Structure 1
Amino acid sequence: MRKLIYGMNLTLDGYIAAPGDDIGWSGPPSEELFQWWLDYEQQSDLTLYGRKLWETMSAYWPTGDQQPGATPAEIRFARNWRDTPKVVFSSTLDQVDGNARLVTGDALAEITRLKAEDGGPMTIGGATLAGAAVRAGLVDEYAIATHPVLVGSGTPFFTALDGWVKLNLVETRTFPGGVVLTRYETRR
């Protein structure tokens, strides 16, 4: 059975995007934080995206290694992003490009099926998709990079839950700029 990991950058008050889907609050990550996210992505055998995050990532990373001034880590990230298989969940998209396939039907049924397969870890991103997976008890681990900024409202990292989810802390780490990474495993 595969492990499902939900990880994103978020504000201290718990949002992954400010109103209007604004993610500018995070600014460019430090080299150390970017390297951590690269390592995180490289451990994943399959990435699951909601529509909004897919549109954000697919607008830049297919050619991120060809951008003027791309750092060695950005070049590796872009190449890994292209090479890693992706599943995009959307009821409004007609197609996706690159190493991705589109699922327009029951997201939870497909995530459950993918988790039951043999293989390495899967990562999931996008608040709506991940929120549904959290509520269904499908997420095994959380990787949270908390930035020292308050935005007041927006898209929350955690959506409303039907019950408690107990977690075990497995890692804490600080990065330049006051970013604090915490990783938790779900208690089963």
Structure 2
Amino acid sequence: MRPLRYSINITLDGCCDHRVGIADAESHAYWAASLARADALLFGRVTYEMMQEAWRRPPSGAWPDWMDESDRAFAQTIDDARKYVVSSTLDRVDWNAELVTGDLETAVRLLKDAPGSGVFVGGVTLPLALADLRLIDEYEFVVQPVIAGHGPTLFAGLVDRLQLELVDRQEFRSGSVALRYRPAD
């Protein structure tokens, strides 16, 4: 069974607005390595569309000029990855993706039961539903040294408390800290 890993950047006050605490070269390298530990990405519609807009290779085949080497490596990892998209509003997806249909728990269990190295999930809404279903095997937070004061927060509305056990941590030169947890129960 391949593990389902939830990973996200958050600020010190628990916000996860992608416009706050923008990643640097060191964290892009970290995220590219983290993504490489999975052979599939699982996104809700909003995260899929956001990631596609930011990290999909343009039709010209050339990455935009604004991207530096770390951006391009991260973008290539995302662009190449197999993607699964949970959405009740999209009729179709592309970008090496397929729609997840039917019962969420059943569909995700099938993804986890498939052979491979892991499934990476990002976003806010979908991970909340997966946490409520107790389907997430690992939680990974890169805490940015920023107080945002606004934006979505993680796990608002979680049905039951989750007890987690720290399994790894890594500090970055920027002051960010990557924390990995597994469910303790």
Query: Do they fold alike, i.e. is TM over 0.5?
Result: yes
Normalising by structure 2, what TM-score?
Answer: 0.90
The answer (yes or no) to whether the contact 1:4–1:140 under 8 Å persists in 2 is yes
**Is 2:55 the counterpart of 1:61?**
yes
Q: Distance in 2 between matches of 1:42 and 1:147?
A: 22
**Is 2:163 the counterpart of 1:166?**
yes
2:76 is matched with: 79
Summarize the alignment of residues 102-141 of structure 1 with structure 2, pairs less than 5 Å apart. Answer: 102-141=99-138
TM superposition shift of 1:104:
4.2
Superposed CA RMSD in Å reads: 1.7
Say which SS state the counterpart of residue 176 (structure 1) adopts.
coil
Aligned residues: 182
Runs of 4+ with >3 A deviation: none
Q: Distance in 2 between matches of 1:3 and 1:183?
A: 13
One-letter amino acid of the counterpart of residue 106, structure 1: D
Q: Distance in 1 between matches of 2:162 and 2:66?
A: 43
Say which SS state the counterpart of residue 67 (structure 2) adopts.
coil
- Please, which moves more after superposition, 164-173 or 61-70? 61-70
1:26 is matched with: 21
Q: Give per-residue Cα distances to partners, 1:102-123, cap 9 Å, x unaligned.
A: 1243222211111122221110
1:5 is matched with: 5
| Structure in which a larger fraction of residues adopt helix | 1
1:157 is matched with: 154
Q: Distance in 1 between matches of 2:97 and 2:130?
A: 20
Identity rate, percent? 35
Normalising by structure 1, what TM-score?
Answer: 0.88
TM superposition shift of 1:61:
1.2
The answer (yes or no) to whether the contact 2:101–2:107 under 8 Å persists in 1 is no
- Please, which moves more after superposition, 125-134 or 170-179? 170-179
Structure 2: 5+ residue stretches without partners: none
2:34 is matched with: 40
Q: Give per-residue Cα distances to partners, 1:20-69, cap 9 Å, x unaligned.
A: xxx32112x22111100010111111100011111110012112761114
Structure 1: 5+ residue stretches without partners: 18-22
TM superposition shift of 1:152:
3.2
Q: 1:116 to 1:159 in 2, by over 3 A?
A: farther
Q: Distance in 1 between matches of 2:67 and 2:19?
A: 19
